[in-house]
Structure 1
């Protein structure tokens, strides 16, 4: 089909109009549709009545000239390209019209020459480029508006979720509410579900805006897979399912990837498999694929998650990895979700250098398969995948009568918590650290306060500083504290090797509760009689962020990333107020700046329970006045305040109180560069728990 270009000719000379019209009519491709007017007013009316691709404008129009007409067109916001027609070339005039916004200029004598058509084509190309730029700007503005909306939505949802989860945790912690533990746990669990949906939305937003970044590091594959198995087998066991992790080939000992994102993909796929499987099993299979036909091809690490669940019909598979797509049968089964999990998996797998696919038969089960780039593994030994034998859940219990202080060190938060579940059944006080550096700091600080740890459970494979390095550092400081190595590896001679490094003992992952009870009895001082129960079966019902104390319903402060203070599990201490008085020795003066009264009250309650003195303000101006009058050890502030930009306020507070620690507590993710330039110490994303606060305040 021939292209039709609609041209508006603004020309007061009839002979020049006929000359231009005759030439344009002779053109076959493209063809032209010409409209003729003689002045700027008629040109404006024509442009209002119809759309044009191009304007040919005579330089002299009686009392007007082309520069005047260009100004009129611009003031009326017409953006079509304009080519000026002049009687004779004048460099000064040519420069003036180009500066006024013309796309090009031509002498009228050139209308029948090839240059005339080239000029028109170049003007049309520039018009297309400009239109694309404008459309791109519109899309960018829409995306920015969407990002701002999602950021605002995240903040607005996180603020009430802070109150819902926070007050529920306080109620759960209070032993007087033991008759309502089941109801409170349901509220807490559903609050966490809402938070996970919100996180999915924000994750997808970051992915679509290409703002999601990877943190590539060395990952011990066997240890990583053991942790996955340990976390998810409880969920499977809850439904009477078995979870198997197998390898069909040897696998590299270490790979280079983002463990957090790979773990997110695997947990999502396994969780879905458990959700949609009522009987049978789920199998996670790992293999290393190397192309035999193309030796230069890089090896791929492949994963598949196979279940014996409800499966999916073929017509439902096409859009399964698209955002916001939900299978109707799943929706009718009321399995819930935002329809984003698989879409997020696809995007994360792509970022990890691979792709994902699914095969399924309705009523027979599904197989999700994906691969990733394992990095340069040419120097890595290939080993058999060896997971510690998973012990069946037994109905017996162990009498464990120990006390003391235990430090649990592991880079995976859920593994720290699961270990905490087990140790919490004794009377031991528990602290946590996320890597070797934090562990060393915790050990040294505990000694400075004359509250040394009695035992350290130390994971071997961790970022920043691994377990062996941390042990050597602890020993260099002259600390003789017993340290037990926790490892998923099981190669021959490993235990002897670790003991030669200086560890007192070794326990495998997943941690066997009976073996752990034996070690606790061996290294911790004796206490009152406590029954070490079959916690694994009970933990399966509970949210991962709060250990379950069977029958006792004792107050429990779960770990956080940098926690070094100790939470007591003594049966005599069953009231939160007693715990807060116990922590009074570390009393700090804290300023809370939060415009939401419910959120401010909750922060005050948490901090008071931790033994601190709290002053609350609801605006930036009040906060600055208070900071001038009083000294504070720590400031907690929201970024969204009615009278101040959060970062501007933070900068002024830092000037007023340069030695005071400052933490952002907000529904918005804090900007790292702004924090660094101002000197903000840390940031917490709402909803925050008491443990989150303890991690930054102490």
Structure 2
């Protein structure tokens, strides 16, 4: 480069001289003129010579200024040159101006040369160094001072400064960072080569340019970091800004500071910057990439150039099983198993793709991933890191594994299937969707007589002929159309062989893909089936004959037994002597034993024939146990045997199952225990075990019946559940029994899903255990045996045994009573005084005070002696209980029906002793007076401020014997109250006492229309007068109610249809004794004839009769519009399954099985027949004995009154009509003719309303009634 520069200087010498002369001529030098042109030429030549010599020794290093002049050619040359110029008369100022021209000219020459930018920079650096030293030595020599002078010191300092300047210049130019210097006006004074190259400008061109123009910056001075630093004397570092260059918008990382001169004055500033656009763009891209990675469902990791992890997204943290802090800095081979192989690819700049298996470091769970790794490159291609993205393919991998396993399993199964098919006795043919045979087995070859090779590839139709071939084609066509076509089975005969042809369509993706035919030789099966069918028909006929025989035998035996047991019951109610009574009891007992045998045989027969169907109804476990025990208990009364009940208190009370059959099994076991136990105990234990199943929760109830009886020998235990078997013959003779009870018990238990077992030792006792699964019934439901009438009252139970106390409370609360209880006697006496119970149930064996002492104190206390006490105890001391004042005695265990019935009788009798008075008045003070007066006299009052509420109470069935009524009230007054009350015929005769303060007008009386019994003025009435009038009204009301109750049975007419004369007599006797009118016929045809002649309230229909049976007769009755509403109760001796349903299907309303019990018969009649007021039945005349003698006279006088009434109606004299009718209303009832009183009231009402036509009609009816009464009385 030096030689080229020297050559350039030589070539441009003349050009430099010419430019100098031109510059001088233009006035560039004031002292120079044309005479000095030769001096200028010499000067240029000297400068070029000195520069040429310098360049030849230049080595591109910084040249220092030595202290010794002689040792530095450039300095020496400057000194020589200075002397020459001074000799020619050139001043120092002139020379400095000329020297400035020289420097500029040579630098411009270099800029205009064809050197490269780097060469130009080096050349200019060398020239500037030369001129700096030359100028220094020139100036020093010009001063004319020697080495030892002050000037010499200054020269040394100047040389040192020059040396530093040269160093800084060299550094400035060699920096790769862009640098520029500005003056106080922000104009560029210096710029290094890197900056000039960056902005693509010449250094000289930007000198003096404002820096904002170079940077393309539009910031105001107060926003410019350099400007601010220059003004504040500060600096800034690492500021990132955006500028505009010829390359567009760029991001630079810049630092800057202010500059000051040697005096410390503000002299400008300097700014250094580096282009970071590429890094900025990469950071932006990386930021977006990171955001995407963080939300990616893939596992993303990034490693730096040394393959250490610098980023992992949340999915990667989860998959890799380590925290982010643990992962950071790990090598790729530590993060991914097999990462060393991956890294080799990445370092070579290659991608890597493949599957990896990761093992979780904590739970050791294996995860399969598919990894994609690639190097991260700059735009220049340099690798600065690595990117790895992975996707969890565990499920896919597991699916692949499963598919492979399934494929292998399928192949194994197919091999098995082929092996199975090959040895199957059935003939197998598999055809494709085109009906081409693809596979057959050996059995098919045998049946068709063709080899496998002959069959494969043939059409399926080749194996079939005739109608069956057409049928096969039709089936295949249907299978093609319906992808859900089910498999079919067809029985056909192939030659001499019966086969079942199974046809199974094959589908793939809901498209028909072929068919599988399988033919099984069922010749032997078909033969056996025909034989079995024949045997079944024979067995069914035998069973039907057996069932018919049992039904007929049941009817034939039960019919006479009904008469025997029924009349035994009737005879026992008569006045018999002891011998007669004992004989009748023997008859009754023998009859009952015979019925027990019949029932056992029928039960056994139904079980064996499978016709016994279990029920599933709600039942109370406690009630079932205690009811069963109460039935067996009388058998132990004459023995020294204690009966115990142990029931698990944690068991619920209500279940769903068959209570009838459970009770039957339990009863059989208890009867046996009572029969074979002479002393000791009989114990019932009940527990349960919870069972969970698909239908919900249920309980396995476990019953055990233990006794201390005679026991069973061990060798006989296996025999006792066999029919008609007991331990030995002597047992049967001594204790009796059919020997069927345990057989039936075992069969019933097994039928209910349970089992029965026995443990026994001779002379120690036996324990029978059985279990029955039942469902839990969450709701407390009262079954049809529960008492329907709710009780109203408070019962105090004094009992220390928790089970008994809870049982009694449960019974009574279900019946509607409020129950309070205690186990302490002292506390009981206190509770009686506080709660005043209606009834007390008292146990004797209490922990603190003996029950007898409590009973004695209750009956001696003035406040408690009237409260009825029922003694409930295991002690058989009924007489002592009654002697101390108890009203009843119940022996434990307690029977629910007996308990509730006796409690109800007591509470009802107490309520019946009270008379209920309804008080209606809107004035609270008056109502309080009435309550005090009437209630104080012993009446039970019901107080109402609103008449509507009082009316609702009465019409709703509330107890009432009389009403005390005010007239003037808001909303509903007394007049409206009376109209609505009397509109209901039930209350037409209810006594009403009007207690009012208003003055009644004629219109008021007309509105009242005698709907009352008495009117009192409440402003003046004395309490005694009020009570006297009330007593008179109540007396008549109670007497009328009594008459009505006595006459109820007489009003019921019963048609008995029965062909057996003994049963006729029995039922007639049972019903007539209670006042029922009974008409009897012998068959259904006669019953239909009787219904046309008379009207009946209920029909008792035997179902088995000659001529026309009860089924046909009932159907005809129910199909008749005239008679279909009459209740029909079926009476039958049949006891087989379906008898009840058959009777109901014929139209019967209910069903009674013979022998008929009186209580059951009366109960069902009362259930269906409720005599109502106004029926067409003849009412019984009831009157005081003293009136009987006056009745003839009354009836004779009444004839004249009726004639007067007839005449008054005819002429329209309604005043006379009203007068006579009013008298009739009052007198008829007094003489025992309530019908006449009612008729008089109706006629009076018609007269008050001026309804003449109605009055005429009623008078006519009165005459007819009078005629009927005369016939009855006379």
TM range (shorter): 0.5 to 0.7
Among candidates 289, 292, 300, match of residue 700 of structure 2: 300
**Cα drift, residue 176 of structure 1:** 5.0
Answering whether residue 1077 of structure 2 is matched by residue 613 of structure 1, we say yes
**Cα drift, residue 322 of structure 1:** 2.6
Contact 1:304-1:367 at 8 Å conserved across structures: yes
Unaligned runs of 5+ in 2: 1-463, 472-490, 499-517, 798-803, 870-876, 883-888, 903-907, 910-1044, 1167-1274
1:666 aligned residue = 1132
Aligned equivalents of 1:487, 1:211: Cα separation in 2: 48
1:317 aligned residue = 717
Post-superposition CA distance 1:36-94 (Å, at most 9, x none):
xxxxxxxxxxxxxxxxxxxxxxxxxxxxxxxxxxxxxxxxxxxxxxxxxxxx97769x9
Alignment of 1:469-548 (within 5 A): 471=816, 483=817, 504-505=838-839, 507=841, 522=866, 533=879
**Cα drift, residue 370 of structure 1:** 1.4
1:129 aligned residue = 529
Give the match's secondary structure for 2:683: strand
Answering whether residue 1036 of structure 2 is matched by residue 685 of structure 1, we say no
Answering whether residue 634 of structure 2 is matched by residue 634 of structure 1, we say no
Answering whether residue 745 of structure 2 is matched by residue 345 of structure 1, we say yes
2:662 aligned residue = 262
Among candidates 243, 247, 250, match of residue 643 of structure 2: 243
Contact 2:754-2:772 at 8 Å conserved across structures: yes
Contact 1:582-1:611 at 8 Å conserved across structures: no
- Per mean C-alpha deviation after superposition, the further-off stretch among 347-356 and 131-140 is 347-356
Unaligned runs of 5+ in 1: 1-87, 96-102, 112-117, 381-409, 412-432, 444-452, 472-482, 526-530, 548-557, 560-564, 567-580
Among candidates 768, 773, 786, match of residue 435 of structure 1: 786
**Cα drift, residue 687 of structure 1:** 0.5
Contact 1:155-1:668 at 8 Å conserved across structures: yes
Alpha-carbon distance change, 271 to 485 in structure 1, aligned in 2, over 3 angstroms: farther
Give the match's secondary structure for 1:339: coil
In proportion to residue count, which structure has more helix? Answer: 2
Among candidates 646, 649, 670, match of residue 1113 of structure 2: 649
Post-superposition CA distance 1:641-668 (Å, at most 9, x none):
1122421111112334223221111102
2:1063 aligned residue = 599
Aligned equivalents of 2:828, 2:620: Cα separation in 1: 15
Alpha-carbon distance change, 489 to 163 in structure 1, aligned in 2, over 3 angstroms: farther
**Cα drift, residue 621 of structure 1:** 1.9
Alpha-carbon distance change, 503 to 228 in structure 1, aligned in 2, over 3 angstroms: farther
**Cα drift, residue 128 of structure 1:** 0.7
Point out the structure with max Rg over C-alpha: 2
Alignment of 1:74-93 (within 5 A): none
Contact 2:654-2:776 at 8 Å conserved across structures: no
Alpha-carbon distance change, 339 to 627 in structure 1, aligned in 2, over 3 angstroms: same
2:755 aligned residue = 355
Contact 1:590-1:633 at 8 Å conserved across structures: yes
Post-superposition CA distance 1:579-625 (Å, at most 9, x none):
xx966743322211111111112111212112122221112222222
Answering whether residue 183 of structure 2 is matched by residue 183 of structure 1, we say no
Aligned equivalents of 2:751, 2:1072: Cα separation in 1: 44
Aligned equivalents of 2:1165, 2:1086: Cα separation in 1: 22
Alignment of 1:112-511 (within 5 A): 121-175=521-575, 180-246=580-646, 251-289=651-689, 300-376=700-776, 434-437=785-788, 439-440=789-790, 468=813, 471=816, 483=817, 504-505=838-839, 507=841
Post-superposition CA distance 1:90-138 (Å, at most 9, x none):
769x99xxxxxxx965569x99xxxxxx999533321111111121222
Aligned equivalents of 2:698, 2:879: Cα separation in 1: 49
Greater relative contact order, per chain length (Cα 8 Å cut-off, separation 6+): 1
Aligned equivalents of 1:676, 1:340: Cα separation in 2: 31
**Cα drift, residue 216 of structure 1:** 3.7
Alignment of 1:60-71 (within 5 A): none
Alpha-carbon distance change, 614 to 203 in structure 1, aligned in 2, over 3 angstroms: same
Contact 1:662-1:681 at 8 Å conserved across structures: yes
**Cα drift, residue 224 of structure 1:** 4.4
Give the match's secondary structure for 1:615: strand
Contact 1:171-1:177 at 8 Å conserved across structures: no
Query: TM-score scaled by structure 1?
Result: 0.57
Aligned equivalents of 2:610, 2:836: Cα separation in 1: 46
Contact 2:1055-2:1096 at 8 Å conserved across structures: yes
Alpha-carbon distance change, 222 to 524 in structure 1, aligned in 2, over 3 angstroms: closer
Aligned equivalents of 2:467, 2:655: Cα separation in 1: 67
Aligned equivalents of 1:230, 1:511: Cα separation in 2: 21
Give the match's secondary structure for 2:550: helix
Alpha-carbon distance change, 516 to 632 in structure 1, aligned in 2, over 3 angstroms: farther
Give the number of aligned pairs: 477
Aligned equivalents of 1:460, 1:166: Cα separation in 2: 38
Alpha-carbon distance change, 307 to 176 in structure 1, aligned in 2, over 3 angstroms: closer
Aligned equivalents of 2:758, 2:812: Cα separation in 1: 38
Aligned equivalents of 1:188, 1:694: Cα separation in 2: 21
Aligned equivalents of 2:1048, 2:776: Cα separation in 1: 52
Query: TM-score scaled by structure 2?
Result: 0.33
Give the match's secondary structure for 1:688: coil
Alpha-carbon distance change, 242 to 629 in structure 1, aligned in 2, over 3 angstroms: same
Aligned equivalents of 2:1079, 2:771: Cα separation in 1: 53
Aligned equivalents of 1:510, 1:191: Cα separation in 2: 39
**Cα drift, residue 163 of structure 1:** 0.8
**Cα drift, residue 272 of structure 1:** 0.4
Alpha-carbon distance change, 599 to 495 in structure 1, aligned in 2, over 3 angstroms: farther
Contact 2:698-2:774 at 8 Å conserved across structures: no
Aligned equivalents of 1:586, 1:280: Cα separation in 2: 52
Alpha-carbon distance change, 592 to 469 in structure 1, aligned in 2, over 3 angstroms: same
Aligned equivalents of 2:611, 2:730: Cα separation in 1: 31
Alpha-carbon distance change, 585 to 607 in structure 1, aligned in 2, over 3 angstroms: closer
Aligned equivalents of 1:338, 1:539: Cα separation in 2: 32
**Cα drift, residue 299 of structure 1:** 5.6
Give the match's secondary structure for 1:267: helix
Alpha-carbon distance change, 106 to 253 in structure 1, aligned in 2, over 3 angstroms: closer
Post-superposition CA distance 1:125-165 (Å, at most 9, x none):
21111111121222222112111111111111111111111
**Cα drift, residue 685 of structure 1:** 0.5
Aligned equivalents of 2:1127, 2:647: Cα separation in 1: 49
Alpha-carbon distance change, 631 to 306 in structure 1, aligned in 2, over 3 angstroms: same
Alpha-carbon distance change, 334 to 176 in structure 1, aligned in 2, over 3 angstroms: closer
Post-superposition CA distance 1:272-314 (Å, at most 9, x none):
01211223322323334579xxxx9976332222222222223
Aligned equivalents of 1:489, 1:135: Cα separation in 2: 68
Contact 1:326-1:339 at 8 Å conserved across structures: yes
Give the match's secondary structure for 2:1108: coil
Alpha-carbon distance change, 365 to 582 in structure 1, aligned in 2, over 3 angstroms: same
Contact 1:223-1:488 at 8 Å conserved across structures: no
Aligned equivalents of 2:567, 2:820: Cα separation in 1: 35
